Amino acid sequence: MNTKEYSQNGYQISSSQILNNEKIISLTHGSEAILSGIHDTGIPPTSRYSRGEKFEEVIKFDNPHFSSKAIKSLCTDRKLSSFIRHATGYREIQVWWSQLVVKSPMIDSIKPESHIDYHQESTYERDWSDESALFTCWIPLTDIGISSGGLKYVTRSHLLGPQFNNIKHGDIDEAIKSWSHLGCYVFDVLIPKGFVAIHDRNLYHGSGPNMSDSSRIGIALHCIGDNNFSIKKNTMFTENIYDYEKCPYFI
């Protein structure tokens, strides 16, 4: 079991395509349906959120796996579950939340709305205890190149533990200097569609503007490993954890 890269760097990226082209097409169709307000399960996403002044630069849907059979079927993909288990060392993997994220191509000068500040997932996961084994599986449905506004990981920043503060792009270099004892650096996650990236809940990560000609589309699965969690507060983020239709386990 190869967990060294994940534990040392705070993330692991697949070295080959995990999801086949047929699966990518199915996921893309399911995502496009949600964008159009169509839900083949009959259940809408938990919420829809967007950022931008002149147009929607970033669109997020919470829990698209409620609404799309294709997205929910990710939990039955054996190659994906095998990769996650080998990367993290966890045997039992449960999805407690998911997101569909669409970053539109820029049609104007770069604005703050098109950047996602560097942050830790743990900042937004305070309903779970700090010791809970939470992590995120990022699945791009489009090729992520240097101009696509893809993820940027701050390698080894998970070793800081939860910090509960976001860092603007212009301030990240100064922050990294203060973490020199950890050997942190920014790593651009440039991967083709069908590849997968997994990161620890305490890893700082962000993304820049999409300067390409097409939308950047991806699915984030927020997961728990080996049932290792405790709930600090019962909220919309934790209330369905024992509803295995809404919070399914990987096969």
Cβ(202)–Cβ(162) below 8 Å:
yes
Residue 238 lies in a domain: no
Query: Residue 115's pLDDT band (boundaries 50, 70, 90)?
Result: confident
Percent of the chain with pLDDT over 90: 89
Burial class (CB in 10 A: 0-12, 13-18, 19+), 113: middle
Residue 31 lies in a domain: yes
Query: Residue 109's pLDDT band (boundaries 50, 70, 90)?
Result: low
- Torsion sign over Cα 199, 182, 160, 153: negative
Q: Any residues with CB less than 8 A from the CB of 243 and at least 6 apart, and which?
A: none
Residue 166 pLDDT > 70, yes or no?
yes
Residue 110 pLDDT > 90, yes or no?
no
Query: Residue 242's pLDDT band (boundaries 50, 70, 90)?
Result: very high
Please state the pTM of the whole predicted model.
Answer: 0.95
DSSP 117-142: EEE-GGGG-TTB-TTS-EEEEEEESS
What's the pLDDT score for residue 3?
A: 81
Q: What does the pLDDT look like over 173-186, one tens digit per residue? A: 999 999 999 999 99
Question: Phi and psi of 200, rounded to 5°?
Answer: -70, 150
Residue 131 lies in a domain: yes
What's the pLDDT score for residue 51?
A: 84
CATH code of 96's domain: 2.60.120.620
Mean pLDDT of the chain: 94
Query: Residue 1's pLDDT band (boundaries 50, 70, 90)?
Result: very low
Residue 233 lies in a domain: no
Structure letter (DSSP) for residue 106? P
Percent of the chain with pLDDT over 70: 95
What's the pLDDT score for residue 53?
A: 64
Domain extent, residue 52, equals: 4-225
Residue 139 lies in a domain: yes
Q: What does the pLDDT look like over 194-230, one tens digit per residue? A: 999 999 999 999 999 899 999 999 999 999 999 999 9
Q: How far apart are CA 246 and CA 94, in angstroms?
A: 10
Residue 236 lies in a domain: no
Domain count, the chain: 1
Residue 240 lies in a domain: no
What's the pLDDT score for residue 106?
A: 80
Residue 9 lies in a domain: yes
